[in-house]
Amino acid sequence: MQATVNDRTTELAAQFPILQREVHGKRLVYLDNAASSQKPTAVLDVMERYYRQSNANVHRGVHTLSEEATTLYEDARVRLAGFINAPSDKQIIFTRGTTEGINLVAHTWGRANLGPGDEVLITQMEHHSNIVPWQILRDQLGFTLRYIPITPLGELDLRELDVLLNARTKLLSFVHASNVLGTVNPVPQLVQAARQVGAKVLIDGAQSVPHMPIDVQELDADFFVFSSHKMCGPTGVGVLYGKRDLLEEMPPFMGGGDMIRSVTMTESRWNTLPYKFEAGTPAIAEVIGLGAAVDFLTDVGMGWIHAHEQMLTRYAYERLSQVEGLRILGPEPEKRGGLIAFTLGDIHPHDISAVLDMDGIAIRAGHHCAQPVHDCYNIAASARASFYLYNTTEDVDLLAESLEKAHKLFG
Amino acid sequence: MQATVNDRTTELAAQFPILQREVHGKRLVYLDNAASSQKPTAVLDVMERYYRQSNANVHRGVHTLSEEATTLYEDARVRLAGFINAPSDKQIIFTRGTTEGINLVAHTWGRANLGPGDEVLITQMEHHSNIVPWQILRDQLGFTLRYIPITPLGELDLRELDVLLNARTKLLSFVHASNVLGTVNPVPQLVQAARQVGAKVLIDGAQSVPHMPIDVQELDADFFVFSSHKMCGPTGVGVLYGKRDLLEEMPPFMGGGDMIRSVTMTESRWNTLPYKFEAGTPAIAEVIGLGAAVDFLTDVGMGWIHAHEQMLTRYAYERLSQVEGLRILGPEPEKRGGLIAFTLGDIHPHDISAVLDMDGIAIRAGHHCAQPVHDCYNIAASARASFYLYNTTEDVDLLAESLEKAHKLFG
Amino acid sequence: MEALYREAILDHYKHPRRKGHLDAPDIQYHDHNPFCGDELTIELKVEDGVVVDAAFDGRGCAISQATASMIMEEIVGLSVDELKTWDKQYILDMLGIEIGPVRLKCALLSLKVLKAGLWGLEEWPE
Amino acid sequence: MEALYREAILDHYKHPRRKGHLDAPDIQYHDHNPFCGDELTIELKVEDGVVVDAAFDGRGCAISQATASMIMEEIVGLSVDELKTWDKQYILDMLGIEIGPVRLKCALLSLKVLKAGLWGLEEWPE
Ligand SMILES: Cc1ncc(COP(=O)(O)O)c(C=O)c1O
Ligand SMILES: Cc1ncc(COP(=O)(O)O)c(C=O)c1O
């Protein structure tokens, strides 16, 4: 069974030009997918073709190029809506990424709905992008920011949820799959609890959308955000999905071209969704590239990707547990997405990563933009291997061997 | 002289793959450069190479790919600083484009410095991106927004400047070169006037940076913004330049990864410039592509580009003036950049553009995201031909002939 | 050229039918297309559920104005119920040209105004 | 491996020189590298413009800690004026390895702390 999965993986890997390259004379083993994924030829070709054949500004042009660009751009929106099962493509707003998505909600919905006496509830395992915007806004608007703590095993500690989530809570914002612990959080339970107190729900899908089938209607999130560059798409683009009535009543974020219906010297009227939130020339080629990434992922099959990563994670969890001095952060493989963060004795994660790099293995080292979760474990940083559809059990073996070497070197 | 210039242009045009294509069986004559420019192979290749060889997230990674990506990304920043002669690359902040740049200044500097009794002065020839952000902020903060009017000839009417620009004025924000009238505004005079009352100056360089040599220190702007996609670079990226002391004291815009120095559950500390303003994964490939565009433009020579467009504009001004029913908006060729907006009898600009498109000619039609300037002339929309380094006098001839055809058809 | 501006469209554009205003319209609706600045007002007189008089006024591109004029030529004598069945395809067939996604808004402005007037809708139903 | 972690660096990392604290330092400065979480404190005793005692404390990666230890080995007996001439290149030569742009911050943290201590600077001079 592992053999067949690896076969398909090898075939897929061949579609990613960068995986053909060598690092320090070794085959590149790319295990930094949670930071950013690699891009298949299919995605690169679509963007190249756009620039070579149809490049023009969108929406406002009548000429052929502009019509082609507009069609390509809006078709990508329809594809994104289908990919996460949004009721309408008007609910797909293109951003620069997860970070801009959350900031957009903070600046618009947040500014219109939060004030002294209100509470926003996040968790201790959030990425900085789901902490800092709320801290900034809190300091301006005077609401209270609360955190759901985590257990020593790296799951949300929900024992006090009924205190933390209360009638004052206006928003519950949490990460779908943690980029440090791997933990996949219990969305139905959390959403249901939020509904009971009338709080809105924002889900950070940066680490879930690339790796598992997502249905925003089933998840029932009010807002859902993710980034293109982690899901085989280009940099510079991401998506904010929102429930229609919320998006309709929210004030705009940035002002400029395309987001207006009319502008006079005294006042402006806003355009309809999704344009109200897309001021200025958008990331046209990038949106089109993201559309191609969604096609690619759909062809591969999100179910298959999820199963493949589950298999790899179980395999890696076992293999890494055997490495002397290695301590895995977060829960058992069944409860996590395709990534494993760990420490190795006292060796600084940067040193681990540097040693692995000499063997062509790319992992991430640091706080992964999630200092509070590291604070929980009283560590400054960790090393993280994160998988994607093109990784194999052989990659995991190479990782483990190189880690053993690092342990000897610094031991 | 025109022949030699056209020779060099033909050679340059060969480096833009899209200019090889046909539209409705005719050679594409692309005259919609003010909306978005085309991209040379050099720029496309650099981005392609990045994705095929060095793609990884920047700043936080220790492995080879991430170091390469970081170096490429930061090198582009240095190149951008050089291109506009910024004192330091720390003053180059990457945005999605001009629109985000202006909104960033509004949300940070604006929120920290504007209130009731204060005034912001813009002009009647602004793009919506330099109107709407100030209207939104005005409605929140209660300052007054004033406009410098324009003369019938399409220049700023500065007769009342000493009333409009006064001790209450905190910011003068204006377009360097108008995207409708073509007018190049008198920066030294305006900046000097602003200095006298202690107002800060923001210059919208969206239509100047692509077309003429720019020295931000000589212009002495406090803020200067522009977009990559109008200057041979990719979509999804732009630049905000700011004076160092201002940028230092401004609060951040968006919160997230990379813009912080440390995050705890109670508070965060900001990173140094330029990262304080670059939250989240940036548009990495796009920044690198913009760096390549700057190299390309520098090789061609910004002085040459400016002279070439001046020649084309003079030529077009004369040739188009001969077309029956055609009325050019804005000042004489000497006072404008490389674009000409016009009306043709009563024919709706969209119809003009559609007819020209049948001849393979791409021009823009509409309000060009600048309704107030159209309101001045009591027209709803205009047609606009805008030039770039790859356009020739032959393109202008084809434009004029096609316009004559349109006039006959609808006459 | 015929691809977009066939003779009939140019004719309706240059000689619009029923352009102007009614004395006491039962239904009057105005809207515009923000991307083009096309403006359109449609006025109807309705008796027993049937359109007995109609007029349009507006300014804008040939596509939007010719479509309005073509609709005017058909509309009198039809029942409101019948008008409510008109859809995008019906208008495009009437125009008889290929139209890109951007100009589509020009072509459909009349229909939008008409339906909004008939149904009292604020926004285009999807 | 030698490219980055040559023997001398590993030795300084595993057996840091002058790690700890001074009783009454004349100069004490602390800073950290936000990207790595490297922490470093340097303490100096200075008499007549000459460093007479030194210590460092901190935690972080081998590069940052080994660099600090190497600096400690050299620093005592040198004049403050001489220390002020140390630059990036001096530190890189001392380390004797090729270093990428990201790890550069680790290598230069000691220098940053040292100079900030000597000059009372808040920020790294460019
Ligand atoms: C003068 C001017 N300012 C601002 C903009 C907005 O630029 P962008 O859409 O790239 O944000 C444009 C172009 O559309 C422009 O011409
Ligand atoms: C869980 C999570 N949230 C948010 C982000 C931020 O995404 P981006 O940097 O693309 O805005 C990331 C990735 O860095 C992440 O892993």
What is the three-class DSSP state of D34? Answer: coil
**A150 and A265 together in one domain:** yes
Instruction: State the number of CA atoms in the 13 A half-sphere of A267 facing the CB.
Output: 3
The span from the CA of B92 to the CA of B77, in Å, is 6
- Chain D residue numbers touching A359 (CB-CB < 8 A): none
- Proximal ligand: closest to the CA of A368: 2
How many structural domains is chain A composed of? 2
Average pLDDT over residues A221-248: 98
Question: Which secondary-structure segment (H or E) carries B41?
Answer: helix B41-49
pLDDT given for residue B289 in this prediction: 98
The span from the CA of A343 to the CA of B309, in Å, is 60
**B305 and B295 together in one domain:** no
CB proximity list for B277: less than 8 A, separation 6 or greater = B93, B104, B108, B240, B247, B252, B253, B259
**A178 and A322 together in one domain:** no
Ligand 1 atom closest to the Cα of residue B99 is: 11
Tens of pLDDT along A336-379? 999 999 999 999 999 999 999 999 999 999 889 999 999 999 99
**B133-139: long-range contacts, CB 8 A cutoff, minimum separation 24:** B133/A254, B133/A255, B133/A256, B133/B102, B133/B103, B133/B106, B134/A255, B134/B106, B134/B110, B134/B173, B135/A255, B135/A267, B135/A268, B136/A251, B136/A252, B136/A255, B136/B106, B137/B106, B137/B107, B137/B110, B137/B111
Q: Which residue has the tokens 């799959």?
A: A177
pLDDT given for residue C3 in this prediction: 64
**Predicted confidence (pLDDT) at residue D2 exceeds the cutoff of 80:** no
pLDDT given for residue B59 in this prediction: 80
- Structural domain harbouring A390: 2-30+301-410
Q: Are B145 and A272 in contact (CB under 8 A)?
A: no
The span from the CA of B317 to the CA of B396, in Å, is 10
Structure tokens at A358: 């000499």
User: Which ipTM value was assigned to this complex?
Assistant: 0.93
Pocket probe for ligand 1: among B176, B227, B235, B240, the residue whose CB has the most ligand atoms within 8 Å is B227
Q: Is residue B38 part of a domain?
A: no
Fold of C7-119: Sufe protein. Chain: A (3.90.1010)
Q: Give the 3-state secondary structure of D60-78.
A: CCHHHHHHHHHHHHHHCCC
pLDDT given for residue C126 in this prediction: 40
**A216 and A195 together in one domain:** yes
Q: Is residue B36 part of a domain?
A: no
Q: Are B96 and B237 in contact (CB under 8 A)?
A: yes
**B362 and B312 together in one domain:** yes
**Predicted confidence (pLDDT) at residue D1 exceeds the cutoff of 50:** no
> For residue A219, what is the domain's CATH number?
3.40.640.10
pLDDT given for residue B355 in this prediction: 94
Average pLDDT, chain D: 88
pLDDT given for residue B321 in this prediction: 97
**Predicted confidence (pLDDT) at residue C72 exceeds the cutoff of 70:** yes
- Chain C residue numbers touching A88 (CB-CB < 8 A): 126
Q: Is residue A36 part of a domain?
A: no
Q: Do A48 and B44 touch (CB under 8 A)?
A: yes
Q: What share of chain B is helix, strand, coil (3-state, %, to 5)?
A: 45, 20, 35
The span from the CA of B356 to the CA of B361, in Å, is 5
What is the three-class DSSP state of A27? Answer: strand
Tens of pLDDT along B224-259? 999 999 999 999 999 999 999 999 999 999 999 989
**Predicted confidence (pLDDT) at residue C36 exceeds the cutoff of 80:** no
The span from the CA of C57 to the CA of B131, in Å, is 31
The span from the CA of A102 to the CA of B281, in Å, is 13
- Would strands B382-386 and B339-344 be described as parallel, antiparallel, or unpaired? antiparallel
Tens of pLDDT along B168-183? 999 999 999 999 999 9
Catalytic residues of B: 369
> For residue A320, what is the domain's CATH number?
3.90.1150.10
| Final residue in a domain of this structure, among B282, B299, B316 | B299
**B273 and B332 together in one domain:** no
Q: Do C61 and B410 touch (CB under 8 A)?
A: no
Ligand 1 atom closest to the Cα of residue B368 is: 14
**B265 and B293 together in one domain:** yes
Q: Do A353 and B96 touch (CB under 8 A)?
A: no
Using CB atoms, which residue from A66, A260, A262 is nearest to C102? Answer: A66
Q: Do A256 and B39 touch (CB under 8 A)?
A: no
Q: Are A296 and A85 in contact (CB under 8 A)?
A: no
Residue C88 DSSP one-character state: H
Cis before residue A234, ω within 30 degrees of 0? no
**Predicted confidence (pLDDT) at residue A8 exceeds the cutoff of 70:** yes
Q: Where are the domains of chain D?
A: 7-119
Chain centroid, CA A258 distance in Å: 27
What is the three-class DSSP state of B139? Answer: helix
**A398 and A265 together in one domain:** no
Tens of pLDDT along A40-52? 999 999 999 999 9
Q: Do A61 and B35 touch (CB under 8 A)?
A: yes
pLDDT given for residue D3 in this prediction: 64
Using CB atoms, which residue from C1, C35, C37 is nearest to B409? Answer: C1
Structure tokens at B252: 């951040």
Angle between helix axes C88-95 and C101-119 (nearest 10 degrees) is: 120
Structure tokens at A152: 């020593």
Question: Which secondary-structure segment (H or E) carries A203?
Answer: strand A200-204
Confidence of residue A62 (pLDDT cuts 50, 70, 90): confident
The span from the CA of D49 to the CA of D80, in Å, is 6
**Predicted confidence (pLDDT) at residue C119 exceeds the cutoff of 90:** no
- Measured in degrees and rounded to the nearest 5, phi and psi for residue B93 equal -110, 125
- Chain D residue numbers touching B76 (CB-CB < 8 A): none
Q: Is residue A396 part of a domain?
A: yes
The separation between the first and the last C-alpha atoms of chain A, rounded to the nearest angstrom, is 37
Chain D interface test: which of B57, B63, B66, B67 (most D C-beta within 10 Å) = B67
**Predicted confidence (pLDDT) at residue A253 exceeds the cutoff of 50:** yes
> pLDDT exceeding 90 applies to what percent of chain B?
95
Q: Is B61 in the pocket of ligand 2 (CB under 6 A)?
A: no
Using CB atoms, which residue from A51, A147, A254 is nearest to B100? Answer: A254
Rg for chain A, CA atoms, rounded = 22
Query: What number of other Cβ atoms are within 10 A of residue C105's Cβ?
Result: 18
Average pLDDT over residues B333-338: 95
